[in-house]
Amino acid sequence: MLIWKELSMSKRLGAMLIGVALLVLPLRAAEVVEQVLVRVNGDILTKSEFEQRQIAVLRARPELANTSPNSDELKKAIAEITPDLILDAVDEMLLSQRGRELGYKMADDQFKGIVDNIKKQNNLDDEAKFQEALKSEGMTLADLKRSLERQMLVSRVQQTEIVSKVTLTEEESKAYYDAHTREFTTPVELTFREILVEVPTSDKGVNVAEDEAARDKALSIRNRLLGGEPFARLAGEVSDAASKANGGLIGPINEDDLSPALQELVRTMKEGDISQPVRVQRGWQLLKVESKSTPQVKSFEDARGQIADKIGNEKLGGERAKYLDRLRGEATIVWRNDELKRAYEQALRTRARTEPPQGTR
């Protein structure tokens, strides 16, 4: 689907890319206007087509909108996005070629329906506005049809050749559920009250005597609390924390958002419990658990959908990688730009390192 918004930004970025010419070799006088960057079997990727892909990604980064064509920031951004972009472009060509081999194509009435929907969604209520929008994007109607058909072919091939072959057994689902119960458990929610006894600091650090005095004061306050004095009242009187204005109240807060040390502490506490003095950055802290929810664990049946999505996506990624590896191995790929070839090979190496082996999670 085309994005008609932010066209002025698109034009600026296009001019920047042409000015930078990072990854595209200059045209020789004898060459035609369009420079071929790579030929994949019988299909080609041209300079302008690849620049449009770069622009589509860069336009989503508004911090680059006013960047000059020769800025280091723009050059760095282009260098970062190009390896994955060129790998994706070749993968799309391979998948769309496979789609044509399988006999898929976009019918004229299907294309018309999509165009009508584009016009409706973008308030292009007459043909002149639509043509002007196409022109602003640097496209013709034929370009639009090729783009939409390529998307359709890629989607159909992935659905029939990859997605349909991904299976999930009951044993796999149960094994995942048993090994990842925490994913299906609602976090414990807590509400605290705190009292902080601050320890003075100086350029020389913390004075040991002052630190011990603050701890003794915290212990004395704890004894008063255990003797029945209200925590909220004492917090308002003696706490050095900002929460004293609210009786020391903190929360509600998820247990997962606490530091590991505090998580370990509160797991041993029940509602109404008051902690021993805890050394924190600013001094000594007392905590009282006002409320503590009971974690709720989804049943296996209720978690089925999440499990299927999780394992299915992981399997799908692996199957897609294997499928594309096979298509690449059977393809004839001829590079006309050495920098893009190196970027492509870099992306292949990166994906090989990051993709998990088949059958692992």
CATH of the domain at 204: 3.10.50.40
211 occurs within a structural domain: yes
303 occurs within a structural domain: no
Stretch 2-19: mean pLDDT: 37
For position 23, what pLDDT does the model report? 42
Range of the domain at 241: 186-292
122, 268: one domain: no
For position 331, what pLDDT does the model report? 95
299 occurs within a structural domain: no
For position 156, what pLDDT does the model report? 94
Share of the chain above pLDDT 70, in %: 89
pLDDT in tens, 234-276: 999 999 999 999 999 998 988 888 888 888 888 888 899 999 9
Beta strand pairing call for 36-40 and 205-206? unpaired
Q: Could you tell me the pLDDT band of residue 88, with boundaries at 50, 70 and 90?
A: very high
pLDDT in tens, 154-213: 999 999 999 888 888 899 999 999 999 888 988 889 999 999 999 988 777 778 888 899
Q: Is the pTM of this model over 0.85?
A: no
For position 296, what pLDDT does the model report? 87
19, 155: one domain: yes
341 occurs within a structural domain: no
Model confidence at 84: pLDDT above 60: yes
70, 129: one domain: yes
18, 136: one domain: yes
CA nearest to 67, candidates 23, 21, 19, 16: 16
Q: How far apart are CA 340 and CA 25, in angstroms?
A: 10
For position 33, what pLDDT does the model report? 57
124, 228: one domain: no
- Number of structural domains (the chain) is 2
109, 224: one domain: no
Q: How far apart are CA 112 and CA 115, in angstroms?
A: 5
Which H helix or E strand runs over 292?
strand 283-292
- 292, 316, 343 — which closes off a domain? 292
150, 87: one domain: yes
CA nearest to 229, candidates 237, 216, 279: 237
For position 17, what pLDDT does the model report? 42
CATH of the domain at 51: 1.10.4030.10
Total length of the chain: 361
103, 214: one domain: no
For position 247, what pLDDT does the model report? 92
- 236, 268, 292 — which closes off a domain? 292
46 occurs within a structural domain: yes
174 occurs within a structural domain: no
Q: What DSSP line would sit under 130-190, residue for residue? A: HHHHHHHTT--HHHHHHHHHHHHHHHHHIIIIIGGG----HHHHHHHHHHTGGGGBPPPEE
Structure tokens given for 6: 């932010």
14 occurs within a structural domain: yes
CA nearest to 255, candidates 292, 286, 288, 282: 292
- 292, 327, 344 — which closes off a domain? 292
- Please state, rounded to an integer, the average pLDDT across all residues of the chain: 84
130, 231: one domain: no
275, 156: one domain: no
60 occurs within a structural domain: yes
DSSP type of residue 287 = E
211, 268: one domain: yes
- The more confidently predicted of residues 1 and 283 is 283
147, 204: one domain: no
For position 20, what pLDDT does the model report? 42
CA nearest to 192, candidates 147, 257, 237: 257
- What burial class does residue 315 get, using C-beta atoms within 10 Å of its C-beta: 0-12 exposed, 13-18 middle, 19+ buried? buried
DSSP type of residue 274 = B
